[in-house]
Amino acid sequence: MAVNLSEAFLYTLAPDPEPRKKAELYLANASAQPGYGVAVLQLLGEAAVDDQVRQAAAVHFKNHVKFRWNPGELEANLRIQDSEKEQIKGYVVRLMLSSSPKIQSQLSEALAIISSHDFPSNWKGLLPELVGSLSTSTSYTTINGILQALNSIFKKFRYGYKSVELYTDLKYCLDGFAAPLLEIFTKTGAQIKATQDPATLRPLFECQRLCCRIFYSLNSQELPEFFENHMREWMDEFEYYLMYSNPVLAERDAEKESVVDQLKTAVCENINLYMEKNEEEFRDYLQRFATDVWNLLMSTSLQPAHDRLAMSAMKFLTTVSKSVHHALFSGADTLRQICESIAIPNVRIRAEDEELFELNPLEYIRRDIEGSDTDTRRRIACELVKGLMLRYRDQVTGLVSGYLGQLGASYSANPTGNWKDKDTAIYLIVALAQKQPLTGAVTTDLVNVEQFLASQINPELRGSTDILVADALKFITTFRSAVPKPVVLELMPQIIQLLVSSTNVVHSYAAGCVEKLLLVRDGGVPRYSSADLAPFQSQLLANALSALQFPDSQENPYVMKCIMRVLSVAEVGPMSVKYLDDLVGILGKVCRNPTNPTFNHYIFESVSVLVRKACERDQEVVMAFEGKLFPVFQFILQNDVAEFQPYAFQILAQLIESRGQPIPREYLVIFPVLIDQRFWQKSANVPAIIRLLQAFLLKAPREIAQGNQLQEVYNVFSRLVSRKSTEDYAFYIANAMVESLSQDLLMPIVPHLWTAFFSRLMGEHRTVKFLKLLVLFMSLFTVKHGQAVLVDSVNKVSPTQPRLFVDVLQQFWIPTLSSISGSIETKLCAVASTRLLCESALLLAEDQLWGKLLNNVVVLLVRPEEERVAEETDVPELDQVTGYGGVYAQLHHAGKKDDDPLKEIKDAKEYLCHSLNRLSMQYPGKFPGVIQQHLDAGNQEALRQMCNAYRTTIV
């Protein structure tokens, strides 16, 4: 296999796609064979193999263990066999330590992946092997390779949630490595102090940096005893490196970070960690570190090479400013120096930012308006000022306001030459804005928003430096809640015109501004209506679609999100088909090569908006939409465009639900696709297929039955209900069958449904969520087909348990009832329970059971929801739009409407009271004693008050 593998990895590097695809297919097939991972490692160990081939093989091995070491439930058959895992673990460390740096880096990542699953419980020999190699190695290439691997392995302690398992693993690692880590750190420090040779020093500094990163991981949860006992040794070394200077280690490239700066950055991160988590133990060192970091910042240049160091240093000072030791910065001169010498210079736009604006607009936007600039100098400098404002708001506000005045005067004196001053001023105002905790509105103490908008922002919208135009749009977007509606409507034509600016950042910000403005709400009501938008709607959508024609914006997610938001607010009317035409044209292009998941999500969301707003009103529009969308969906399914299949299924469900019955034959042709196992194997498809299955069952139940496909639907249900991760989807199908199927079609399936549900009830994987879903299902069954059919069908499940329904009611229904939440769900369960109470002969013969059920129905209807909802112990995972590759992206506008199966009953409390009143008249004198004996005192009073309110009685 090794020869073939070597050739295959070589061909994966080929520029010609044909041999490259063949090689990738060969590797994909080979990777499923036993022993494949070991064979790749053996190839990596052969020195005669070309370095490029070995590098490709190392990357492939890392990905192999990533996807196959511990695959998900649906891909369990892809798992590497245990025997091969042991072979890999026995080989990979030695190979990593003897490899070149590039291969060593990939194997180190693979080692970390394996460790995340197996270390330490299933790989006891790993840490002793690495520590042993560390103690015997004299080469810093090997030492750093070991430390790099340990750094990757220990990273889990930085982000892991506190648990017994995590702390057990942490203790094991501390016992095995805390002392060796300090030993190598102090030993290497001694060598640094003894030499000036740059070639010798560089690997030594890399060693110290890795030691500092491991220090960070091992201290991230809480302060370990070993580190507390040896804190002075660590802190003395940290201070030495903060003050260390050696010109021979400086980099000539202004954008390349030196090894000294990398180590100083790691030290700043460590002392910031101690300041955040171990303030009491760290206080003896705080004064001197604050001084050292201050001096470090004062001497750190604005070159990109110093960015990480400057940011980590400012983060430390920010942490101090927010702590009980904030008095270190209380002096007026100190506050002035921080603002003047540290904050303002770091906020000022640099040549690198201008270059990013022009050449990489998406990255500029990502940093500037998406909040990912938390790791830029500008943002961190503002966070430092915010930290000072917590305790010294008046002083700092006064200082910043003064600087804003100076910056404004400078710009006014020479707008062309001093435009950066205005950019700095706007950036400061936006970055230092405060979000109100209750409303979420953004405000500022630095300027009067309306006045600043009129005097300083509006002029920039009419033509200026592109960066200032973008700044102006960002200002309006940030303070959108504070800008009066008439002012926004007056500005709207200018903002719409900027959608066709040839500058990517400008038309992206204009799109974002419109989209965010349309989200503003006043007292829960949207501020801008379709009537407000009507005068601009046509030009707005035309300009937004034109923006997508610019070369760098053909898949601009901000513009597409703007289109989606406008369509969701606007009255689309007869223009809906024209708008759909535009979207289908875009879809036709991206279907052939999906690359931007966010952009594509908003295309489908826009289509979904149009379907919901237009198709539900006019069947002719539905047919027009079908004619335009079916070819696109056919292409997606036939060409297996996996990224788009979930979207297609969701919109098809919308179209079916927009149709009257019977639905056209064209839809029924799609139904077999939903049963095709190829589509179910992709986990992202499952929720969307369920959504479409629901629509079919509700709109074409008899057609499905006539096609002998109900059994196949049940088979799908059976697979889903057997797994905890998909149990809720099983209930969606079961609910749809109960709602839509007539009794003659439903009853042959019902015994199988009960058997599946009750098997899960008896199993060890029963969850709170499952019990709620089951009670809701049984309640729906009751209101749709009657309590007698429910009781009879349950009791027939097991010949040996003729009173099975009583057991289910007593053990599961009644205890779960009081934890139901949601208005429709509460009404459904209350009404179904009421029908059992008042119509079931079985229950009327069981006084104790009857009383217990009534008690919990009262709890369900009377107590506030937050008091009766049981804690959800099995929180379901929420799907998010995070990219392609197995994540379900739900379309907001394509969601199934929460239909009320009891529209004729407006008030469940009234229904209960009147039902009990009729029952009491039917059985005079029977119930007062039962109620007194089995209802809690508080619930007895609540029931009495409820009945009085509806002028009924149960006496």
CA angle at 848 for the pair 847 and 853, rounded to the nearest 5°: 100
Q: How confident is the model at residue 491 (pLDDT cuts 50, 70, 90)?
A: very high
Residue range 170-190, pLDDT digits in tens: 999 999 999 999 999 999 999
Amino acid residing at 580: L
Q: Which helix (H) or strand (E) holds 824?
A: helix 823-839
C-alpha distances (whole Å) from 663 to each of 46, 620, 650, 702, 707 are 64, 14, 17, 11, 14
Q: Select from 677, 587, 667 the least CA-distant residue to 635.
A: 587
Residues whose CB is less than 8 angstroms from the CB of residue 449 and which lie 6 or more positions away in sequence, other chains included: 443, 479, 482, 483
pLDDT at residue 895 in the model: 72
Query: Residue 785: which of 701, 901, 696 has the closest Cα?
Result: 901
Burial class (CB in 10 A: 0-12, 13-18, 19+), 764: exposed
pLDDT digits (tens, 9 = 90+) for 301-319: 889 899 999 999 999 999 9
Tell me, yes or no, whether 365 lies in a domain: no
Q: Please give the mean pLDDT across all residues of the chain.
A: 89
The whole-number average pLDDT for the span 538-563 is 95
First to last CA, the chain: 86
Give the least confident one: 270-279, 557-566, 913-922.
Answer: 913-922
Q: Exposed, middle or buried: residue 801 (CB in 10 Å: 0-12, 13-18, 19+)?
A: middle
Determine contact, residues 693/713, Cβ cutoff 8 Å: yes
Residue 376 has pLDDT above 70, yes or no: yes
Q: Which residue has the tokens 């965010």?
A: 516
pLDDT at position 865: 57
Confirm if 804 and 797 have CB atoms less than 8 A apart. Answer: yes
CA-atom Rg of the chain in angstroms: 34
Give me 106's structure tokens: 């990939």
Amino acid at 723: R
Percent of the chain with pLDDT over 90: 62
**Long-range Cβ contact pairs of 337-342 (< 8 A, separation 24 or more):** 338/384, 338/385, 338/388, 339/385, 339/388, 339/396, 339/399, 339/400, 339/403, 340/399, 340/403, 341/298, 342/297, 342/298, 342/314, 342/317, 342/381, 342/384
Over range 652-657, report the average pLDDT.
92
- The mean pLDDT of 635-660, rounded to a whole number, is 91
Structural domain tally of the chain? 1
Single-letter amino acid code for the residue at 504: N
Structure confidence by residue, pLDDT tens digits, 345-362: 999 999 999 999 999 998
pLDDT at 92: 92
Query: How much is the average pLDDT of 149-162?
Result: 91
Decide if 95 contacts 46 (C-beta within 8 A): no
CA proximity to 815, closest of 871, 850, 775, 782? 775
The one-letter amino acid code at 358 reads E
Q: Picking from 8-17, 642-651, 860-869, which range would have the lowest pLDDT averaged per residue?
A: 860-869
The CA distance from 275 to 10, in Å, is 51
Instruction: Say which range, 188-202, 585-599, 663-677, 845-859, has the weakest mean pLDDT.
Output: 663-677
Distance CA 779, CA 771 (A): 12
Cα dihedral sign for 854, 858, 861, 866?
Answer: negative
Residue 868's pLDDT is 47
Tokens of 697: 């069952």
Mark 177-208 as b/e (b = at least 16 C-beta within 10 Å): bbebbbebbeebbeebeeeeeeeebebbbbbb
Return d(Cα 927, Cα 938) in angstroms, integer: 17
| The pLDDT of residue 875 | 25
Q: Which of 139-143, 169-173, 867-871 has the lowest mean pLDDT?
A: 867-871
73 in a structural domain: yes
Residue 822 has pLDDT above 60, yes or no: yes
**40 within domain boundaries:** yes
Specify the pLDDT at position 759. Answer: 87
**Longest alpha-carbon distance in the chain:** 103
Asked if residue 98 belongs to a domain, the reply is yes
**Distance between CA 637 and CA 635 in Å, rounded?**
6
pLDDT band at 2 (very low <50, low <70, confident <90, very high): very low
| Share above pLDDT 70 across residues of the chain, in percent, rounded to a whole number | 95
| 3 state DSSP class of 434 | strand
Q: 880 falls in which pLDDT band (50, 70, 90)?
A: very low
| SS percent in the chain: helix, strand, coil, step 5 | 75, 0, 25
Q: What is the mean pLDDT of the segment spanning 748-768? A: 85
CA distance 479 to 460: 16
CA distance 261 to 697: 64
Residue 882's pLDDT is 34
> Is residue 618 predicted with pLDDT exceeding 80?
no
Let me know if residue 52 belongs to a domain: yes
pLDDT, mean of residues 864-872: 49
On the question of pLDDT at 871 being above 80, the answer is no
Instruction: Tell me what the mean pLDDT of segment 934-943 comes to.
Output: 88
In a domain, 836, yes or no: no
Torsion of CA 564, 568, 574, 577, to 10 degrees: 30
Closest CA to 322 of 385, 274, 268, 280: 385
* Both structure tokens of 379: 């943002």
Q: What is the pLDDT of residue 371?
A: 59
DSSP class of residue 612?
A: I
> Higher confidence at residue 888 or residue 82?
82
User: Which run of H or of E encompasses 156?
Assistant: helix 156-159
Q: Which comes out higher in pLDDT, residue 437 or 745?
A: 745
Give the residue-averaged pLDDT of 210-225: 97
Q: Which of 290, 357, 299 minimizes the C-alpha distance to 323?
A: 290
Q: Tokens for 699, please give them.
A: 């709109």
Half-sphere exposure of 528 (CA within 13 A, CB side): 30
pLDDT at 713 over 80: yes
Range of the domain at 92: 1-118
Tokens linked to 311: 């940011």
Task: Spell out the alpha helix ranges (H) of 479-575.
Answer: 485-497, 504-517, 530-547, 557-569
Q: Taking Cα atoms as reference points, which of 447, 310, 297, 318 lies closest to residue 391?
A: 318
Q: Are 647 and 889 in contact (CB under 8 A)?
A: yes
Distance CA 533, CA 610 (A): 17
Distance between CA 953 and CA 955 in Å, rounded? 6
- What single-letter DSSP state applies at residue 414? -
According to the model, what pLDDT value does residue 886 have? Answer: 44
Residue pair 174/187 in contact (Cβ under 8 Å)? The answer is: no
SS3 898: coil
Q: Are the beta carbons of 356 and 378 closer than 8 angstroms?
A: no
pLDDT at 374: 57
Task: Specify the pTM.
Answer: 0.81
User: Which helix (DSSP H) or strand (DSSP E) does residue 471 occupy?
Assistant: helix 466-478
Please classify residue 126 by burial: count the beta carbons closer than 10 Å to its beta carbon, then call 0-12 exposed, 13-18 middle and 19+ buried: buried
What count of other Cβ atoms lies within 10 Å of the Cβ of residue 302? 14
Half-sphere exposure of 718 (CA within 13 A, CB side): 13
C-beta separation of 263 from 208 below 8 A: yes
With beta carbons less than 8 A apart as the criterion, state whether 102 and 52 touch. Answer: no
Q: How much is the pLDDT for 872?
A: 37
pLDDT value for 312: 96
Q: Which residue has the higher pLDDT, 874 or 226?
A: 226
Q: Which residue(s) pair with 522 in the sheet? A: 525
Q: Is the residue at 361 inside a domain? A: no
pLDDT for residue 204 is more than 50: yes
The answer on pLDDT for 1 being more than 60 is no
Q: pLDDT band at 923, cuts 50/70/90?
A: confident
Residue at 663 is within a domain? no
Tens of pLDDT, residue by residue over 777-816, are 999 999 999 999 999 999 998 888 888 999 999 999 999 9
* Per-residue pLDDT at 881: 36
- List beta partners, residue 521: 526
Reply yes or no: is the peptide bond before residue 662 cis, omega within 30 of 0: yes
36-63 CB burial, b ≥16 within 10 A, e <16 = bbbbbbebbeeeebeeebbbbbbbbbbe
8 three-state secondary structure: helix
| SS3 state at 676 | coil
Neighbours of 635 (CB within 10 A): 16
